[in-house]
Amino acid sequence: MQNLECSDIIKKLGGGKKLTARLKKLTSELINEKTVYSWVRQGIPDRWKVAVARCLLEDNHNIRDYNKLLLPGISSENLTSANNSIQIFSESKVLKTNDENIDFSVDKETCIKIYKLMMRIRRFEEKVGQLYSMGMIGGFCHLYIGQEGVIAGIESIANNKDCFITGYRCHAHMVSRGEPLLNIFCELLGKKDGSSKGKGGSMHLFRSENNFYGGHGIVGAQVPLGTGIAFANKYLKNNAITFCFFGDGAVNQGQVYEAFNMAALWNLPIIYIIENNQYGMGTSVERASAMTELFRRGESFGIKGYEIDGMDPLAVNYHLKNIYNKVAKENLGPVLIEAKTYRYRGHSMSDPGKYRTRQEIQETRDNRDPIERVRSFLLKNEFMNEIEVKNLDKKIKDEVLVASDKAREMPLPDEDTLYEDVYYSKDRLP
């Protein structure tokens, strides 16, 4: 909305103080006067538009004067009822933390585990980018650099029985599930000792032994597949949670909502993770989605949604622990998480990235980098000292270098293996 429109709305509703009080009473959500006045500069966020529209209607203002205030699918009739008791806010919400919450919730072992995993992913992906630039990795290649906080925070609360599935930005998930780096490098380089015998490549990493089910190149395909895995786990009483990862670009796919419907209908043990890195290929979320609060996308199916800071892995750990336990032990059913994150590299290695500025990327690196966040936390709490951190970083960098060098020396698959694994042989059935 235009700044003048926001200023006019606040004025018509009695000013920031009065509007703040009304919104608190109407929604039972926390909001302060400073936030309300920030809308003059930033515009009214989607999560507050419905409540503000309701206030305007209650004061007999013409809602049509503010045609951008109502979200798609909502009309003025939706905001009123005969007894004026309509509930316009669900339990979906933005989850925030402060340093005090984190200090009391994250122990030394968990913090170091998160840091190690993020460093392994970052150094691995940097090496992959180098090998791709050298022409040693073919096909498409999508790096995870910048988003490490999401997977590291989630892996810190998951167990080995839990199932992971994602799209084509899947190297990090393969690393987090414990696959040896050598095997992943071999797969990317098309070698016979790769995780999928060199036949899957960057977009189709897969390791069912580690409960990692891909790596899928079709946008959004992993969502119904992940829902099927969750159904199987419930049917077989495996006591396992499925983590299904997809991006802000995939969230507008129709199959996603068909899967949401089934997951809610059958109360499946699944946590959907939208890794919102702000851009689907080269298009920003604001240009692609009519409603940009993606964590609310499951509300019509009764799926609770939460937004978390994906650039803060300690916050991911803090918030997901409670949600995970409710899904696992209290039969909560499906949950939708929007992890706000950011990728430093292009959509793929061939993306020139002209749709965003270098300044935008650098500001995120300087102020919100997930690895720097945890490194500072480690040092502040004296979980590690500067020398120990540097030694750990060097050890991981050396590990990645040794694995990549060894993978380059490994043999390519034999030509006759091209015809293997095309069909599933009956003699291999259990």
Is the pLDDT at 2 greater than 70, yes or no?
A: no
φ and ψ of 338, to 5 deg: -105, 110
Q: What is the pLDDT of residues 129-168, one digit of tens each?
A: 999 999 999 999 999 999 999 999 999 999 999 999 999 9
| Three-state helix/strand/coil letters over 77-107 | HHHCCCCCCCCCCCCCEECCCCHHHHHHHCC
Which sequence spans correspond to the domains of the chain? 3-88, 99-409
Given a contact cutoff of 8 angstroms between Cβ atoms, the answer to whether 137 and 128 are in contact is yes
- Per-residue confidence (pLDDT) for residue 86, from 0 to 100: 45
Place of tokens 């120990």: 388
Under 8 Å between Cβ of 24 and 31: yes
Mean pLDDT for 209-226 is 95
Q: Give pLDDT tens digits for 4-20.
A: 688 888 888 989 899 99
- Tell me if 316 sits within 8 A of 154, measured CB to CB: yes
Q: Are 129 and 180 in contact (CB under 8 A)?
A: no
Q: Which CATH class is domain 99-409?
A: alpha beta
Between 45-54, 67-76, 350-359, the lowest mean confidence (pLDDT) is in 67-76
- As a whole number of angstroms, the distance between CA 165 and CA 333 comes to 18
